[in-house]
Amino acid sequence: MVPALSVVLPFNPATAEAAARFANALSGQAQVVLAGEGHVDVTPGPNVHVLSAHGGKGAAIRAALPHVTGAHTVLQDPDAAYSPDSYDALVQPLRDDTADGVFGRRPGMSPEMVAERALGGITRFVTDVALTDPLTGLRAFRTEALRSIQLTSDDDSVDAELVVKMAAQLFRLTEVALPPLQAVPRRPASAHLARLRTLVRYATVRDDADNQHEGYSTLERMDGATHYNQWLGRRFREHMGRRVLEIGAGIGTITRELEGGAEHLVALEVERFYVDRLKNMFRGKPHVRPYLSDVALADWESLKAENLDTIVLSNVLEHIPDDASAVRRFRQILQPDGRVLILVPALPQLFGAIDEAVGHYRRYTPETLRAVLEENGFRVDTLEWMNLVGLPGWFVNSRILRRRAVPKLQLKIYDTLAPLFAQAERQVKLPVGMSLFAVGRAV
């Protein structure tokens, strides 16, 4: 019988003896996976695995995860401070499906815990998690969620990396209080420094995808532009029906603005990395269905059966190589009198480094956007310029300075003023803008 619980014990020569004690005590209750450097006095068996892993704690955890079989995984430092008696309380939120990760909150304010609390505060600042003790040495996860995180750290900095990436992917994180500890948890100063360096790196020069998705940095920064996104959401909702297909949902920035006004929302996205985030974001909201597919390869017959009355594309049409073919496909699956709502970047003269970084094929003019709609089955009801104020900043950053992402500080300042810009644009018909907004009616 396969145990429902797995316990991962990353060890080094200094902690090998403690790891062996935990493994021998747990072998009849759970699957135990030990990974690290040094000799451990443990006899391998069907539910006990001993793996050699060089490089440190992060390398050991990566080596252990492929061998985990339980639905839930306890990740524990082999430290005498912790007790398996805490496992039931730690795992219960996972069994209740109210959390994806549970952190054991350590009591006390010893000098060691003061240092841990300080690093915990920095972790909360970087990640926005509501955890008192995010770097604890005793945690439990849904195994599927833990495996979905791509860990790259080899040493103790993996503790910080794990929290950063779980938070960014919107997993549900909570904590439970641990009973008085049998001893004070001990970490070398090098472990504290490694975790601090990692937190600083993720707060400044690295995103939670380790800068492997060039356009992701821009998506993440735009996700933080709350007022601007609310502005766009209001524009879409003014014309939106009840059964909606969003093309290119990305990390869910606009999806979040749309879902409250829809009875059924299909969020189509080609990147699995983003779809996993969407599933976490809308967990418990069955009217939102993330759908992994490229536009060209989607099951359009199945989508037609969804009785869709609205298709939304927010800064997506410019990413599609054959935009005319895509628009024809949209017309084929919409209900009679259905609408396509489109926001696109405007003015080819603005095309620059940021456009290249996020994968734009083009920027539109009113004439080219109208043509692609009217020549492929839609009547244009609305075609308006948007975001005049953002135009100079984009030109300077993308064309002159050749930056490949929107600077955080500039975006924050712009977002603070976005409600004023939105109000002004409702009163005045713009002669030009950084974007074009269109509503097409199926004919």
Average pLDDT over residues 342-350: 96
Which tokens belong to 38? 């040094």
Average pLDDT over residues 261-267: 96
> In this structure, which amino acid lies at residue 373?
L
Average pLDDT over residues 36-60: 93
Question: Largest Cα–Cα distance of the chain, in whole Å?
Answer: 77
For residue 1, what pLDDT is reported? 53
Residue in this structure with the two tokens 């970047």, named with its chain if needed: 345
Between 182 and 323, where is the model more confident? Answer: 323
Between 385 and 208, where is the model more confident? Answer: 385
Give the residues across from 56 on adjacent strands.
none
Q: Is the pLDDT of residue 57 over 90?
A: yes
Q: Please, are residues 347 and 435 in contact by the beta-carbon 8 Å criterion? A: no
For residue 112, what pLDDT is reported? 86
For residue 134, what pLDDT is reported? 96
Range of lowest pLDDT (7-16, 127-136, 184-193): 184-193
**425/430 Cα distance (integer angstroms):** 7
Question: Which pLDDT tens digit goes with each residue over 129-188?
Answer: 999 999 999 999 999 999 999 999 999 999 999 999 999 888 999 999 999 887 878 888
Band of residue 214 on the pLDDT scale cut at 50, 70, 90: low
Band of residue 224 on the pLDDT scale cut at 50, 70, 90: confident
Average pLDDT over residues 363-374: 98
Between 418 and 435, where is the model more confident? Answer: 435
Band of residue 427 on the pLDDT scale cut at 50, 70, 90: confident
H or E element, residue 181: none
Average pLDDT over residues 378-404: 91
Band of residue 215 on the pLDDT scale cut at 50, 70, 90: low
Q: Please, are residues 428 and 381 in contact by the beta-carbon 8 Å criterion? A: no
What domains appear along the chain, each with residue ranges and CATH number?
Answer: 5-204 (3.90.550.10), 216-442 (3.40.50.150)
Q: Please, are residues 76 and 86 in contact by the beta-carbon 8 Å criterion? A: no
Single pTM value for the model: 0.74
Band of residue 230 on the pLDDT scale cut at 50, 70, 90: very high
Q: In what order do the strands lie in the sheet with 264-269?
A: 288-292, 264-269, 243-247, 310-314, 339-345, 435-442, 378-386
**383/331 Cα distance (integer angstroms):** 18
**228/222 Cα distance (integer angstroms):** 8
Which has the closest alpha carbon to 99: 151, 46, 139? 139
Neighbours of 318 (CB within 10 A): 23
**219/222 Cα distance (integer angstroms):** 5
Runs of H (alpha helix) within 224-297: 226-237, 253-258, 272-281
Range of lowest pLDDT (9-23, 205-219, 233-247, 367-381): 205-219
Question: Which pLDDT tens digit goes with each residue over 97-107?
Answer: 999 999 999 99
Question: Which pLDDT tens digit goes with each residue over 355-364?
Answer: 888 889 999 9
Which tokens belong to 377? 């089955």
**332/245 Cα distance (integer angstroms):** 13
For residue 380, what pLDDT is reported? 98
Range of lowest pLDDT (2-11, 23-32, 181-190): 181-190
Which tokens belong to 88? 């039931």
Question: Which pLDDT tens digit goes with each residue over 73-117?
Answer: 999 999 988 999 999 999 999 999 999 999 999 998 888 889 999
Q: How many percent of the chain have pLDDT more than 70?
A: 98
Band of residue 2 on the pLDDT scale cut at 50, 70, 90: low
Mean pLDDT for the chain overall: 92
Q: How many percent of the chain have pLDDT more than 90?
A: 71
